[in-house]
């Protein structure tokens, strides 16, 4: 008994299996992650270190080299490369393929934290894995014709960032641009030296006087109150009244050796939207999250927030990866629809057999459904690569279906042999 005869004798089981594959693929399509790129974990970790405005030579000896020595103790490390510039050090760490990069990142962070106390004061660092999630999936701009950049940044950071961080699948929300308010103390070196003080004395006095501390507890029957002393300076006058030195001749205050002004933190990134200074807030997704779903929920959150938004504020979409994904999915849909229509037209025109035409048409969605089920089994996702491959494969499936069906029908019409033998020989040709 040939394979064709065996399949023919079990045709109900074959049809049931194909139906199960199709149904399984349809169900899997609703649960597959959706992203612009496939999730790939590259065996690489990047460390960015910020240490103020130190020259590159001092960054190399005081920051980069100690951190490199600490990182080399991480298991599985293959190579380390670093670049030092003024106030910044970038370290690239390569591992072997197959390494658990989550564990490797935690080990790198632990190694840096061990040497952090020995690094220059104020040194900060950031560790991140190199995968597609290091790039934002959605970005919006916030602009206003009347508000300052300080106000725009405060709104984005304290209102929009917590709002969007609550969306399922969002890893973090970052804010770029704008300005941060600060009080700037400008010291006159001559007046400072005349009173026998140094810049370190000013810095120490300002830090010590600008604190919030607990001074004790108060009990009232079943209630317990925490007593707090708030010594923070709230304006330029209070900062200027900060005492630097107590002596027999009187008190020396900050205002005696310098001036206090309201200013902004120096910004090295400037953002423009529609020709105006703006603030950008960017949304990053978690691995295996659904980009399209995140985009929809972010838009819903912003729509609800717009009712509370002052009329002078405008939120505009700046970048959205989900648009590319939806466009790719639309290409697959169009390819399937057009291909099925063309296949049906060709087969009906030349074969004039409705049953054969229906079989050929059902081949395309069944094959795609089985492909989606296989993606689910292999922990794949919908992305521009898999969707593009499906769109290209539709043409091949339709072409093969037309050629195969036409050839089998032609052989069956020209032969007097048994139907199963003819189908087998025609398929083999």
Transcribe 363-397 into DSSP letters.
HHHHHHHHHHHHHHHTT--B-HHHHHHHHHHHHHH
CA distance 356 to 406: 9
**Residues carrying CATH 3.30.70.1430, the chain:** 44-130
- Within the chain, all domains assigned CATH 3.30.70.1320 are found at 134-181+267-322
pLDDT of residue 167: 93
Higher pLDDT, 199 or 403: 199
Helix (H, G, I), strand (E, B) or coil at 165: helix
Whether 20 contacts 365, CB under 8 Å: no
pLDDT tens digits along 325-371: 888 778 877 877 887 788 778 777 776 777 777 877 788 888 888 88
The mean pLDDT of 262-266, rounded to a whole number, is 87
What is the dihedral angle through the alpha carbons of 295, 177, 159, 315, rounded to the nearest 10 degrees? -50
Residues of the chain with CATH 3.30.2090.10: 182-264
Report d(CA 270, CA 256) in Å as an integer: 36
- CATH 3.30.470.20 for the 134-181+267-322 domain, yes or no: no
Contact 108, 126 (CB under 8 A): no
Alpha carbon dihedral 209, 213, 215, 221, in 10-degree steps, equals 150
Which pLDDT value is given to residue 143? Answer: 92
Tell me, what's the pLDDT at 416? Answer: 64
Out of 2.60.200.20, 3.30.70.1430, 3.40.50.720, 1.10.287.70, which CATH number does the structure's domain 44-130 have?
3.30.70.1430
pLDDT > 90: what percent of the chain? 25
CATH class of the structural domain 3-36+324-428: mainly alpha
Could you give the maximum distance between any two Cα atoms of the chain, in Å?
125
What residue ranges of the chain are covered by domains with CATH 1.20.1640.10?
3-36+324-428
Residue 426 pLDDT > 70: no
Using CB atoms within 10 A of its CB, is residue 131 exposed (0-12), middle (13-18) or buried (19+)? middle
pTM for this model (two decimals): 0.74
Residue 20, both tokens: 């199960």
Residue 417 pLDDT grade (very low, low, confident, very high; cuts 50, 70, 90): low
Spell out the CATH class of 182-264: alpha beta
Measured between alpha carbons, how far is 177 from 278 in angstroms, rounded to an integer? 7
Given a cut of 80, is residue 228 above it in pLDDT? Answer: yes
Q: Is the pLDDT of residue 69 over 60?
A: yes
């Amino acid at each position: 008994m040939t394979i064709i005869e065996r399949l023919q004798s079990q045709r109900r089981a074959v049809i049931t299996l194909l139906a199960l594959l199709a149904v399984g693929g349809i169900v899997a399509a609703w649960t597959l992650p959706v992203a612009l790129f496939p999730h790939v974990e590259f065996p690489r970790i990047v460390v960015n270190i910020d240490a103020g405005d130190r020259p590159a030579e001092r960054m190399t000896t005081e920051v980069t080299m100690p951190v490199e020595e600490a990182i080399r103790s991480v298991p599985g490390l293959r190579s380390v490369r670093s670049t030092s510039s003024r106030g910044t050090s970038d370290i690239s760490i390569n591992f072997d393929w197959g390494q658990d990069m989550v564990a490797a990142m935690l080990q790198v962070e632990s190694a840096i934290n061990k040497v952090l106390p020995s690094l220059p004061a104020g040194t900060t660092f950031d560790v991140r894995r190199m995968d597609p999630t290091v790039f934002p999936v959605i970005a919006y701009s916030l602009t206003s014709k009347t508000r300052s950049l300080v106000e725009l940044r405060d709104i984005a950071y304290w209102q929009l960032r917590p709002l969007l961080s609550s969306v399922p699948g969002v890893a973090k929300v970052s804010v770029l641009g704008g300005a941060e308010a600060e009080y700037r103390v400008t010291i006159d070196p001559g007046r400072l030296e005349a009173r026998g003080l140094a810049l370190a004395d000013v810095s120490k006095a300002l830090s010590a006087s600008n604190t919030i501390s607990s001074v004790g507890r108060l009990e009232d029957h079943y209630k317990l109150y925490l007593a707090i002393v708030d010594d923070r300076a709230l304006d330029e006058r209070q900062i200027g009244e900060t005492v630097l030195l107590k002596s027999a001749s009187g008190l020396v205050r900050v205002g005696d050796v310098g001036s206090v002004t309201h200013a902004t933190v120096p910004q090295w990134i400037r953002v423009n939207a529609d020709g105006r200074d703006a603030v950008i807030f960017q949304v990053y997704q978690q691995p295996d999250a659904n980009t399209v779903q995140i985009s929809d929920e972010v838009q819903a959150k912003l729509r609800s927030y717009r009712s509370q938004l002052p009329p002078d504020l405008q939120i505009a979409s700046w970048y959205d990866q989900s648009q590319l994904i939806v466009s790719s999915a639309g290409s697959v849909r169009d390819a399937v629809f057009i291909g099925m229509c063309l296949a049906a037209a060709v087969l009906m025109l030349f074969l004039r057999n409705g049953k054969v035409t229906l079989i050929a048409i059902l081949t395309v969605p069944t094959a795609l459904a089985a492909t989606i089920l296989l993606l689910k089994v292999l922990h794949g996702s919908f992305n521009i690569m898999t969707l593009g491959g499906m769109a290209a494969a539709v043409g091949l499936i339709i072409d093969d279906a037309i050629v195969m069906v036409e050839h089998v029908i032609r052989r069956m019409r020209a032969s007097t042999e048994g139907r199963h033998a003819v189908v087998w020989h025609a398929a083999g040709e």
